[in-house]
Structure 1
Amino acid sequence: MNKGVISSSPHPIPQEVMMSQSMGHGGSGVRMRGLYVLLCVVLALPGCRAFLPNFWSRVLTLSLDSYTHQFITEQGVLNVTLETLSMANTHQHRHTQEQAGLGRGFWHAVGEVVRSNAAMDFLSSTRSDPVYHFDSERVEEAMAMLRQFWAQTLLSAQAKEYQGARHSLGQLLHSLQDFYSHSNWVEMGQHSIYLHLLQPGQPAFPVATEDTPTCMECHSATCRDNLLPRLTQSQQYPLLLTTGYFSTYPPKPQGKCSHGGVLDSSRHQGAKGGINKDSTSPLFSPHHYLHVEAARLATTATLTVLRDLRDSVGYTSFLRLFSVKQPPALVFVMDTTGSMFEEITAARLRAHSIIQARANTPEQPGTFLLVPFHDPGVGPVYETENPEEFMSYMENLMALGGGDEPEMCLSAVQLALTHSPPLSEIFVFTDASPKDAHLYNTVRALTLEKQCKVTFLLTEDPSHKMKGRGRKRRRETLSPDRFALYSSLSSVSGGLTVFTTNSDIHRVSAIVEDNTAADKVTLLHAESDSDSALSHSFRVDSAVKSVTLHLTGELRQCVLSSPTDRTQSLLSQQGPLAEWERFQGLYRISLLSPIEPGQWHLNTLADGHITFNAIADSSVDFLYYFAVEANGTHPGLARVEGSVPTFLVLAVTGLSPNEEVSFSHVTLLGANGESLQKVWLNSSSSSSSSGEELVGWMASVPRVPFCVPSIRQRDRGGNRLERVSTEMIQPTDIKIQVLSIPRLVPGHSTTVRFDVQNHAPARNLTLTADDDRGYLSQRGPHSLSVGERGARAGLSLDSNYVVVHLTVVPPDPDMSPPSCSTMRVEHTCPGPTQWHRSQMDCLSGCDRQGTPTGDSLEENQPTPNHNYQSQRVREQTSPAQGENGYAELGPRLVQGNPPLNVAQWTGGMPQPLWVRYTSPCCSPQAELLVWDGAGNVRRCHLTSSQQRVVALGVLGSCGKVSFFLSWYEPVSIGKHLPICSPLHQGNPSDPSHSTCTARV
């Protein structure tokens, strides 16, 4: 993926970015392609209508008991993730323990889905478009958009473009959840989800035509029975679907239903009133009394999509999609010119040490990434989850060639950022300055967008360099600031820049191992250019297990003080508080156990620039974002741009649900660690799954770069906890908003439109754009002059960026699911003369045949006529990557015991696949789910003729029921192959025997 930077103007100036693709035409094997479009300015800061978007919406609408998009999405992802962990048998802990241990990366990934979901109500390109919200009876168009989101999500996940997948998944879930709130599906008396929305093969309901009246007049806030009989539970006519019209576009025909509520101007047109179920407030939702039922169906639909996604891509990919229990990625950017032998050796040895340490843990080894570079070559990117494969890449690195001193370093860092998971730390080994300095803004934007740290290990004196990079070199004095861009990038991202030597590089590289261990948090991060005495402090709490300090630069004095006033001079003695190591350019300090809780102090006297970084082992961390109040079609908190009254939203992760804590405030810190502003926190009253979610109001944000530490007060003892976000945030007066995210089709050109706004005096801006696939036809730089908007003086240097995730999909994606039919049913169950036996007797008699064991997640699955419980247990085999990158799933046990016999099947041949399935008499109903490689699913319902017997129960020999099935998938070149998995919906205490094979 790629990124670009955009600028803005006093009044919105629509800009366009042209893209063309030359990937060839058609073919269902086209993978997802991601584009980050960054539009850069010469100046620099990093920076509804539906169920209510997020927790703040409930406050603004005075409906604190409403279910929001945020809650439904968070709970859905959490439940399916815990369910998947239980099925995969990776851990057998209680779910509360699992939830606390999912990690900061998981909640960051969930947050990306939630924000993408909520953004549909805030972005100008989507908030007023009825297709994105199932409004104005645009049901067919909305279903087509929904299926496009599904295709994008699936393609992205299969291509391991997880960030793009999360973005499109959030959009999909928003529209899907809106259907149940904005349509008459609940009023029709439906108690199960509408499968046809994402599965064309399932039965469909007709949509009311434009000239068909749908509503009656309603003159009160609460509208009851205002839908015409044919749209509720009519017995005379086929039921019709309708959705409410909103505002003035498109115009509402006479007699149609409105969305309703005080924010909908169409509610005054006939038929007056509305039908939305977005909230429990009659002020905003005329059908507020049906909100809970709509939310229940939206939740079930969300769970179904997430399970289908998991079953389509495989358990492992699904867990990686949400960064579940993933250790930090190990990312190396390696200069491979002739002078880098020692550096390559150091990186190789350090990687081997990290891999060996991870091999001794039960967790997944994580992601490994290597990007080599030299002049003029960059790459390729070596990305793997296989530690042995990564070591093979490292072993094959050779230090060869050379030439001029500058190298293509930033190009390599850009590649690494593109492929790295969010929250990664990237380690760059080089002894050369950047030859591609023009990429700095793009790389900086990528760093901030992904919240990645970049650390540079430079094996060269910052003011001198050998001419030529081979073994025979002569000394040449070069610019002392030629590494300034490296230092700037590490500073803004929260990383380090270490100037060391070849002889010390291996020992200095210990910081790689320190920072890539699991559950690392930051207690202190500060920089200083002062030659005077400095004092910094950090707090150790009971959740911290070990503490390591990294100091870069040259120190003349360094004294460490404990909370009980014990001191140790770190440059002259080993003492009772810490052990320390000194290398060229780096001091590494480790506090000795037992570590005293409380405030620690570090008093130093330095020569020149110095960076302080204190990290610790702890599961407790936090995530945050800034937002502004949005009172549009759906009130809530939207992402902020510019220095306006702002909310700081903070979520603490890793806390046990049983842990009682209270939170007070955060203090915004400057680049040197000085206090800039205190922000008092209040609970959001949200039952957010991520833990305690807190909100603080700020009249304005600081006008200088700052970072966000988290301070909380624990229990009545007043013990405090501090965590620091290391990336530096700088305000901006430039706002960039993407207006359209078009569908990308191979072989065609398209345009991405965006607005640039300037909230400061008139000035000239420079616009650049970039992408990671080379599709952009206009990259810039482009100059534009923007007028004044606001009397306040702006920053002398300012910039902003925006990142867009785009997906290239086939022009005619495969949307046809496999067909399925029951060929024959056999049974040897007792006859109806034994109906008088109790069902409990049946359960006791059949239970011994194979009830699942171990922890499992139970969930009520309502259907039109029954309330079943589904128990899901464990996955039998791991998914593998097949041709074209699609997952081929092996036999998997969803519930019960084998066998389910599957005949041999030859791919590419138009022949049926035969399946035989056997179950006990107590469970004569089952549902077989069949997927193809494109993610299309067919639900095959299996029912024995002895269903009535089961309803009353039988005793004695349980017997068996055999189903003979076949399904047929029309096959053409490039057609996705079927994948299947059974989901039994029988008696929960007596599951049938069920397995499925996917090698079809």
Structure 2
Amino acid sequence: MVPLLVVAVFLLQGALFQPPQAAAFKIFTSDGSLTHHQITEAAFLRKMAEVCRNVAIARGKDFTLPINNKLTPTAVQRACSNSYSTLLQLATFNLAVLQTSLSNAAVDKKVSSTAHHFDNEDFKNGRDLITLGVAAVKVSIKKGNYLSARISLGAVCHTLQDFYSHSNWVELGSTAPFSTLIKPERPLENLASPSTKTCKSCVGDNCTDNILTEVLQQKLLTSGYFKFILPIKPAGKCSHGGTFDGSSYKEPTGGINKDDISSNHGFLHLRAAEMAINATMELLEDIQLAIGDQAFLKLMGLSQTSVLVFVLDTTSTLSYYIAEAKKVFLSIIDSRRGTSEEPSEYILVPFSDQDFGPLIRTGDADKFKEQINSLSTSDSSNPGLCLSGLLLTLTRAPPSSDIFVFTDSSAKDIELKIAVVAMMQITQSKVSFLLSNSISTRSQQNVSLSRSLSQSDIQFYRDLAHVSGGQTIEVTNSTLSQATTVITDVITTDLVTVLQVERISSKAENFSFVLDPTLSNVTVYITGDSPVFNLYSPTGVSQSGSVADGPLGSIQTIGNLKRVKLNSDNQTGEWKISIDTTSSYSLKVIGQSSVDVLFYFVEIVEGGHGDSWGQSFTRPFIGRNATFYVSVTGRDSVTVTDVLLVEASGSGAVNGTIKSVGATDFLVNIDRIPDWAFVVQLKGLLNDSSLVSQFQRQSPVQHKGSRITVTAQSQNITQPGVPMSVNFTVATNTTDGNYTIRARTDQGFSMSFPSSLTLGPGGSAQGSVTLTAPSDTESGTDVTLTIEAEAPGSTDLNYITLRFTVSTANTIFSGCYLLSMCLSFVCFFICHFVCLGLVFVAKL
């Protein structure tokens, strides 16, 4: 019988509506166990070191870095930089690993899926998940959709790695990965039949020899069965094991999982983890051979320089402005050619009042210049499809891109604002707007045309820029060329944000920021109407904002922006700046550094075999606790002293509780999400030999909570011409009434969904979005779906964003698998009633 205490503990965890599954390698370790993130990172590092070693040998260069289990991102980056004769960006590599790892971890949220975890001897469907996922990775890469490729890759890696934790492959004495899992042409052989007995009961807590001798001798492949709470499994079969695996209480008792050192077969955990690392490397090699070294480097995030991205309004009122913009574009391209700062890619998205796109993307500077010169204008004085063009750019440009939008008009498609904000936060891309003042001209039909930006229009663009950590610069034809300086600043490699604040009030205020020894080319931006400011160095030297060239730096005025370029001497330490202005303003401090910080909100799902987690693609709930993941790049170890949520437009702050999950990785718990917009700020110590220095970094992207939750689960892949349904739930603890529902994809696919859902006080409601990719959709097409829920009276809003890939591969799930899924859900709901009954009996 299942102990009543087990049921009570599960209910106390508040997990009644989230059935746990057989999770694999843990995310929290204190005993030397390896996590999914560590396994994935180790495989990435070893594979990247191998690629860079081969490149070095081919170029006649030395590569002395030993390829072993002691590799660090910093060491691999330095060795690869020597191979490529240029500084490869460490931050982008860490971002690639983190995005893959977050997608990897999110697989543990797949409820009752035996295939995703190789439970219940579900080898065929598990292998099909892997091979279909690998195909999706390859087609996404060939289309340049590297973020989607990493998301698919992370999911594949999780299932592949779980095989070595949940099956008896290691117990069979295997010394190499099971390559058949990534080679669909090979047959799955020597599988234990459904009637074959595979285990005997453990002797107490000792499960070292619970797999039957004949299974080991015949090299039969099996895996543990898992059933939440209920003691159900086929006769004689092995169990996964663990407190919440009800099947492990039925003969034969115990389990065979190797999730961590304390598991039933934890004595084999390190061997299973090493096998999982080797299997992940084998998978990466398969992808590398299919796509080539250069594309593989981009998948790994090791692009050599930045990406130059422009979104340009092409209406005729901007004809003079466009001509000047073309000169700016060409000047920037030519100034970077042949240097270490030459962009690895160029992207251009035009838009007008009638259309937007296509997205023009190339790595050839000359072809890009031809595209710019061939841009034509359209006659119109209407608002343009600015957000449509920007959304297309955000979904196609690489993550962490710097995007520049040129326009002189309000946005015609403001309903896309939430979708744009969501993609800014997901991709961590910064968007800057260059706005021209009112221009009048005449069309080809000799009709007078004019467009103008109102203060509300300008504020709309400012709000978007502030959310992403970008700038809003108001220019004229004569001052546009000066904006080249700002564009050049922000497309510099290894750029980090030290401080960024926004103020909507006009009171005088003082700010401080810390510059560490790794920073160079530090620039301070102050955007506003005639701000008065004074800058103070750590040594007490000051400079007024009215002094163009002073002891601390040079000051340049570009429209409504003041650019302060600090002198290179005596930068380290705490700086101060006082600002006094009669209008709203923003302050930003950036510089180049090898030390940067990545921030992602994550969802922690408490399950029966440990916690699982994944990236959150929705706003956190106001007033409740939340967790985010912090990764510091550029050092093999750091000391983090403070992580805070800082009010974006004020002085409020909420402290976080820091838990280390690696030498440079941390999970930060926030007791309550504030009701104001915020940024994440990190402070800590850098240890360089005998020198210890303070450092400070900040997330450029703003976040805001909500009192609405929107949850949904979707498959990562859909087929052209086949309808796909995405079920979602909207819940709140505040306002009842009719909630407006909106859904859209960046591809414009046809879809149906309810226009509203009715929620009672503190209640929830469910809906479904059904969408269909056209039958002629190219395989590998990346699709972003955003589902929004808005409270009555537009008092609150939240969203969830899902990404999936269109693939022409055959459906992977067999009828038997779908039936087993359905039975799992039936059993799950039966468990609810059993649990509630047991608790009721306990109360009696």
Q: TM-score by structure 1 length?
A: 0.70
Do 1:426 and 1:452's aligned partners in 2 also have CA atoms closer than 8 Å? yes
- Which of 616, 632, 637 aligns to 1:652? It is 632
Which whole-Å CA distance do the structure 2 matches of 1:553 and 1:312 have between them? 51
- Which of 598, 606, 629 aligns to 2:581? It is 606
Corresponding residue number in structure 1 for 2:788: none
For 2:594, what is the secondary structure of its paired residue? Answer: coil
Do 1:11 and 1:789's aligned partners in 2 also have CA atoms closer than 8 Å? no
Do 2:428 and 2:468's aligned partners in 1 also have CA atoms closer than 8 Å? yes
- CA offsets 1:28-83 (integer angstroms, 9 cap, x no match): xxxxxxxxxxxxxxxxxxxx5343242x2x24xxxx21122111111111211222
Give the gaps of 5 or more residues in structure 1. 1-9, 15-47, 815-1000
Q: Which moved more, 1:615-624 or 1:759-768?
A: 759-768
The 1:76/1:433 distance shift into structure 2, 3 A limit, reads same
Kindly indicate whether structure 1 or structure 2 has the higher relative contact order, using CA contacts under 8 Å at least 6 residues apart: 1
- Count, aligned residues: 742
- Amino acid aligned to 2:293: Y
Q: Which moved more, 1:550-559 or 1:724-733?
A: 550-559
Q: CA deviation at 1:286?
A: 1.2
The 1:138/1:695 distance shift into structure 2, 3 A limit, reads closer
For 2:806, what is the secondary structure of its paired residue? Answer: coil
Corresponding residue number in structure 1 for 2:275: 297
The 1:714/1:773 distance shift into structure 2, 3 A limit, reads closer
- Which of 131, 155, 171 aligns to 1:187? It is 171
1:227 and 2:214 correspond: no
Q: CA deviation at 1:558?
A: 2.1
Of all paired residues, the percent bearing the same amino acid is 32
- Which of 433, 457, 461 aligns to 1:482? It is 457
The 1:676/1:174 distance shift into structure 2, 3 A limit, reads same
1:451 and 2:424 correspond: no
- Amino acid aligned to 2:119: D
Corresponding residue number in structure 2 for 1:396: 374
Which whole-Å CA distance do the structure 1 matches of 2:276 and 2:383 have between them? 56
Give the alignment of 1:57-76 within 5 angstroms: 58-59=29-30, 64-76=31-43
Q: CA deviation at 1:363?
A: 7.1
- Amino acid aligned to 2:167: S
Corresponding residue number in structure 2 for 1:719: 693
Do 2:314 and 2:352's aligned partners in 1 also have CA atoms closer than 8 Å? yes
Corresponding residue number in structure 1 for 2:193: 209
Corresponding residue number in structure 1 for 2:154: 170
Q: CA deviation at 1:269?
A: 1.1
For 1:608, what is the secondary structure of its paired residue? Answer: coil
Which whole-Å CA distance do the structure 1 matches of 2:315 and 2:730 have between them? 42
Which whole-Å CA distance do the structure 2 matches of 1:474 and 1:164 have between them? 42
- Which of 697, 708, 714 aligns to 1:734? It is 708
Corresponding residue number in structure 1 for 2:515: 540
Corresponding residue number in structure 2 for 1:80: 47
- CA offsets 1:247-295 (integer angstroms, 9 cap, x no match): 15894111111111223111011221111111110xxx21111112211
For 1:514, what is the secondary structure of its paired residue? Answer: helix
1:273 and 2:262 correspond: no
Q: CA deviation at 1:422?
A: 1.0
Which whole-Å CA distance do the structure 2 matches of 1:675 and 1:771 have between them? 36
The 1:717/1:682 distance shift into structure 2, 3 A limit, reads farther
For 2:701, what is the secondary structure of its paired residue? Answer: coil
Which whole-Å CA distance do the structure 2 matches of 1:467 and 1:353 have between them? 26
- Amino acid aligned to 2:518: A
Corresponding residue number in structure 1 for 2:527: 552
- Amino acid aligned to 1:320: K
Which whole-Å CA distance do the structure 1 matches of 2:32 and 2:303 have between them? 32
Q: CA deviation at 1:358?
A: 3.8
For 1:481, what is the secondary structure of its paired residue? Answer: helix
The 1:631/1:525 distance shift into structure 2, 3 A limit, reads same
- CA offsets 1:178-232 (integer angstroms, 9 cap, x no match): 1111112122222222122221344642322222211112242231221222311
The 1:12/1:408 distance shift into structure 2, 3 A limit, reads farther
- CA offsets 1:524-577 (integer angstroms, 9 cap, x no match): 211112223232222221111111122222125222211112111222452111
Which whole-Å CA distance do the structure 1 matches of 2:629 and 2:809 have between them? 40
Which whole-Å CA distance do the structure 2 matches of 1:385 and 1:256 have between them? 56
Which whole-Å CA distance do the structure 1 matches of 2:335 and 2:348 have between them? 19
Which whole-Å CA distance do the structure 2 matches of 1:584 and 1:442 have between them? 29
The 1:739/1:250 distance shift into structure 2, 3 A limit, reads farther
- Which of 96, 102, 107 aligns to 1:115? It is 102
- Which of 460, 472, 495 aligns to 1:520? It is 495
- CA offsets 1:340-369 (integer angstroms, 9 cap, x no match): 234334433333344344433357732211
Corresponding residue number in structure 2 for 1:886: none
Structure number with greater Rg is 1
Do 1:746 and 1:809's aligned partners in 2 also have CA atoms closer than 8 Å? yes
Which whole-Å CA distance do the structure 1 matches of 2:37 and 2:449 have between them? 62
Q: Which moved more, 1:94-103 or 1:150-159?
A: 94-103
1:379 and 2:357 correspond: yes
The 1:774/1:530 distance shift into structure 2, 3 A limit, reads closer
Do 1:12 and 1:756's aligned partners in 2 also have CA atoms closer than 8 Å? no
Do 2:305 and 2:340's aligned partners in 1 also have CA atoms closer than 8 Å? no
Which whole-Å CA distance do the structure 2 matches of 1:579 and 1:562 have between them? 14
1:582 and 2:545 correspond: no
1:263 and 2:244 correspond: yes
- Which of 693, 702, 715 aligns to 2:665? It is 693
Q: CA deviation at 1:786?
A: 4.8
The 1:87/1:718 distance shift into structure 2, 3 A limit, reads closer
Which whole-Å CA distance do the structure 1 matches of 2:64 and 2:601 have between them? 34
Q: CA deviation at 1:373?
A: 1.0
For 2:519, what is the secondary structure of its paired residue? Answer: coil
- Amino acid aligned to 2:466: S
Q: Which moved more, 1:108-117 or 1:387-396?
A: 387-396
Corresponding residue number in structure 2 for 1:416: 393
The 1:569/1:425 distance shift into structure 2, 3 A limit, reads same
The 1:622/1:92 distance shift into structure 2, 3 A limit, reads farther
Q: CA deviation at 1:106?
A: 1.5
Corresponding residue number in structure 1 for 2:313: 335
Which whole-Å CA distance do the structure 2 matches of 1:804 and 1:375 have between them? 28
Q: CA deviation at 1:761?
A: 4.5
- Amino acid aligned to 1:327: T
Which whole-Å CA distance do the structure 1 matches of 2:338 and 2:153 have between them? 35
Which whole-Å CA distance do the structure 2 matches of 1:167 and 1:142 have between them? 18
Do 1:50 and 1:181's aligned partners in 2 also have CA atoms closer than 8 Å? no
The 1:784/1:511 distance shift into structure 2, 3 A limit, reads farther
Which whole-Å CA distance do the structure 2 matches of 1:805 and 1:627 have between them? 16
Do 2:739 and 2:759's aligned partners in 1 also have CA atoms closer than 8 Å? yes
Which whole-Å CA distance do the structure 2 matches of 1:636 and 1:331 have between them? 39
Corresponding residue number in structure 2 for 1:431: 408
Do 2:736 and 2:758's aligned partners in 1 also have CA atoms closer than 8 Å? no
Which whole-Å CA distance do the structure 2 matches of 1:435 and 1:521 have between them? 33
1:663 and 2:663 correspond: no
- Amino acid aligned to 1:649: Y
The 1:260/1:585 distance shift into structure 2, 3 A limit, reads same
Which whole-Å CA distance do the structure 2 matches of 1:233 and 1:728 have between them? 59
Q: CA deviation at 1:508?
A: 2.2
Q: CA deviation at 1:118?
A: 0.8
Corresponding residue number in structure 2 for 1:802: 800
Corresponding residue number in structure 1 for 2:774: none
Give the gaps of 5 or more residues in structure 2. 1-13, 66-73, 79-87, 765-790, 813-844
Do 1:467 and 1:476's aligned partners in 2 also have CA atoms closer than 8 Å? no
Do 1:536 and 1:673's aligned partners in 2 also have CA atoms closer than 8 Å? no
Corresponding residue number in structure 1 for 2:834: none
1:788 and 2:788 correspond: no
Q: CA deviation at 1:423?
A: 0.9
